[in-house]
Structure 1
Amino acid sequence: MAKLHRLISAVLRLAAAGAAAAAAVIMVTSHETTSLFGIEMEAKYSYTPSFVFFVVAFAVTFAYSLLAAVLVRPGTTASRLVLLSDVTVGMLLTGAVAATGAISQVGKSGNEHAGWLPICAQVQAYCGHVMGALIAGFVSLLLYFLIIMYSLHAVAEPLCSCH
Structure 2
Amino acid sequence: MAKIKKIFTNFLRLLALAATVVAIVFMVTSHDSAQVLNLTFTVKYSNTPVFKYFVIAEAIAGGYIVISILLSFKSLFWRLLVILDMVTAVLLTSSISAALAIAQVGKKGNTHAGWLPVCEQVPDFCDQVTIALIAGFAAAIIYFVLLLCSLYVVLSPIFVVTP
Shorter-chain TM-score category?
A: over 0.9
Aligned equivalents of 1:162, 1:145: Cα separation in 2: 27
Q: Which TM-score applies when normalising by structure 2? A: 0.95
For residue 26 of structure 2, what is the aligned residue in structure 1?
Answer: 26
| Partners of 2:24 and 2:58 within 8 A in 1 | yes
Structure 1 residues without counterparts, runs of 5 or longer: none
For residue 115 of structure 1, what is the aligned residue in structure 2?
Answer: 114
Q: How far does the alpha carbon of each residue in 1:98-128 deviate from its partner, in whole angstroms, 9 at most, with x for none?
A: 1100000110111111111110000000000
Of all paired residues, the percent bearing the same amino acid is 40
Q: Give the AA of the match of 2:54.
A: F
| Partners of 1:10 and 1:70 within 8 A in 2 | no
Query: 1:160: how far off?
Result: 2.0
Aligned equivalents of 2:15, 2:72: Cα separation in 1: 16
Q: CA RMSD in A?
A: 1.3
Size of the aligned set, in residue pairs, is 162
Structure 2 residues without counterparts, runs of 5 or longer: none
For residue 48 of structure 1, what is the aligned residue in structure 2?
Answer: 48
Query: 1:162: how far off?
Result: 3.4
Q: Give the AA of the match of 2:105.
A: V
Moved over 6 A (4+): none
Pairs within 5 Å for 1:49-68: 49-68=49-68
| Partners of 2:30 and 2:128 within 8 A in 1 | yes
Q: Give the AA of the match of 1:121.
A: E
